[in-house]
């Protein structure tokens, strides 16, 4: 693994626990043998782009993602064509941890009839951040910490093995390559984010999607809206954040591709009225990946884009082409 800091040391012991809980989880799945389909690739449907990306990387085949670029998983509800695709799928992969709040009941019902796996639910609870708005729930945005996403990859791999055991060796090789790339991404993020001056390590975004990112890389994270996008930020919250921007001379705040930028604009106007200019540091991919077919339309590219954009906007040094630029220069 690539967990080189003491603060994340306990991840190693948790991984063994994670494997055990994963096996327990998979034992409960109603695995339907694909005897009749043995020659064809399994039909795999995933909810978010990030989960679909992991399944493509590890499975090596096509995976249908229900939520494309710019779609908000907190509010997304399955369409008629989604229902058709989900019920026909050999394997349905969703995120869980209450991310797909509007689809949860449907997916839980579906799980009684066919292989349906909530891939983030298998993460050890002690690695999850609490959700301050709902004490019995967790912050679902685990893809923001590459080390956690690598663990989610293990669940994806096990689920793929379940529906295509004959391809297990391929899955294992693909998973190994994916993990290595995630490790390189984590090392890149640590290196460039470390160049941001310590007093500038404050990340202000439209909603609270970056908590795991902040925990992994030592940034204070403030979302205008909460963990979910379901409730709008109140005027009091905006006022509080404006004061903080002015007091701490925060240079930039960030918009998100899947959330309205209205509240971010309100912050910038509020700070300007108090004589402090705040820039839009760029657009981050929080809950959805970038355009399909682009580098940002992959998990690695999405996080690379975020890391590079945040670093440059907050006064650190990162290559213009991000991790790709760094690899090309090496
Ligand atoms: Zn979110």
Phi, psi of 101 (to 5 degrees): -55, -35
Structural domain span for residue 76: 5-174
Ligand 1 center to 123 CA (angstroms) = 18
* C-alpha 229 to ligand 1 mean position (Å): 6
Last residue within a domain, chosen from 148, 174, 200: 174
- Residue 269 within a domain: yes
Give the per-residue pLDDT at 14.
53
Rounded distance from Cα 10 to ligand 1 centre (Å): 26
Average pLDDT over residues 278-290: 97
Same domain for 60 and 160, yes or no, is: yes
Ligand 1 centroid to Cα of residue 94, in Å, is 15
Per-residue pLDDT of 139-193, as tens digits, reads 999 999 999 999 999 999 999 999 999 999 999 999 999 999 999 999 999 999 9
Task: Decide which of 150, 174, 198 is a domain's last residue.
Answer: 174
CA distance 77 to 52: 17
For residue 266, give the CATH number of its domain. Answer: 3.40.50.1980
| pLDDT, position 195 | 98
- Per the structure, the count of domains in the chain is 2
Spatial distance between the Cα atoms of 125 and 58, rounded to a whole number of angstroms: 24
Q: Please check whether residue 286 lies inside any domain of the structure.
A: yes
Of the three residues 143, 174, 205, the one that is the final residue of a domain is: 174
Which distant-in-sequence residues (6+ apart) come within 8 Å of 86 by Cβ?
Answer: 45, 66, 78, 92, 106, 107, 110
234 and 208, same domain (yes or no): yes
Residue 182 belongs to some domain of the structure: no
Q: What is the rounded radius of gyration, in angstroms, for the C-alpha atoms of the chain?
A: 20
Q: How far is the CA of 255 from the centre of ligand 1 (A)?
A: 13
Q: pLDDT for 12-53, tens place per residue?
A: 445 555 655 665 656 555 555 555 444 578 999 999 999 999
Whether 170 and 194 share a structural domain? no
Cβ–Cβ under 8 Å, residues 308 and 193: no
181 within some domain: no
């Amino acid at each position: 693994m690539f967990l080189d800091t003491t603060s994340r040391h306990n991840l190693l012991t948790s991984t063994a626990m994670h494997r055990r809980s994963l096996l327990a989880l998979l034992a409960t799945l109603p695995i339907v043998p694909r005897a009749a389909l043995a020659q064809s690739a399994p039909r795999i449907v995933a909810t978010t782009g990030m989960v679909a990306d992991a399944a493509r990387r590890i499975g090596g085949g096509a995976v249908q993602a229900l939520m494309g670029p710019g779609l908000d998983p907190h509010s997304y509800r399955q369409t008629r064509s989604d229902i058709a695709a989900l019920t026909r799928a050999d394997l349905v992969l969703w995120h869980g941890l209450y991310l797909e709040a509007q689809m949860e009941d449907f997916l839980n019902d579906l799980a009684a009839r066919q292989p349906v796996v909530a891939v983030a639910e298998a993460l050890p609870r002690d690695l999850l951040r609490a959700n301050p708005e709902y004490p019995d729930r967790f912050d679902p945005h685990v893809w923001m910490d590459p080390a956690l996403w690598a663990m989610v990859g293990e669940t994806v791999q096990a689920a793929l093995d379940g529906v295509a055991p004959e391809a297990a060796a391929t899955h294992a090789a693909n998973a190994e390559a994916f993990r290595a790339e995630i490790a390189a991404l984590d090392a890149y993020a640590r290196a460039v984010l470390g160049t941001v001056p310590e007093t500038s390590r404050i990340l202000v975004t439209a909603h609270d999607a970056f908590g795991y990112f902040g925990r992994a890389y030592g940034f204070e994270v403030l979302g205008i809206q909460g963990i979910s996008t379901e409730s709008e930020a109140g005027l009091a919250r905006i006022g509080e954040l404006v004061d903080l921007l002015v007091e701490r001379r925060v240079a930039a705040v960030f918009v998100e591709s899947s959330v309205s930028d209205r509240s971010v604009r309100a912050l910038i106007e509020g700070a300007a009225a108090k004589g402090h200019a705040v820039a839009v540091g760029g657009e981050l991919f929080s809950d959805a990946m970038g355009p399909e077919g682009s580098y940002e339309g992959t998990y690695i590219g999405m996080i690379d884009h975020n890391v590079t954009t945040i670093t440059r906007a907050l006064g650190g040094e990162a290559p213009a082409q991000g991790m790709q630029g760094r690899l090309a220069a090496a």
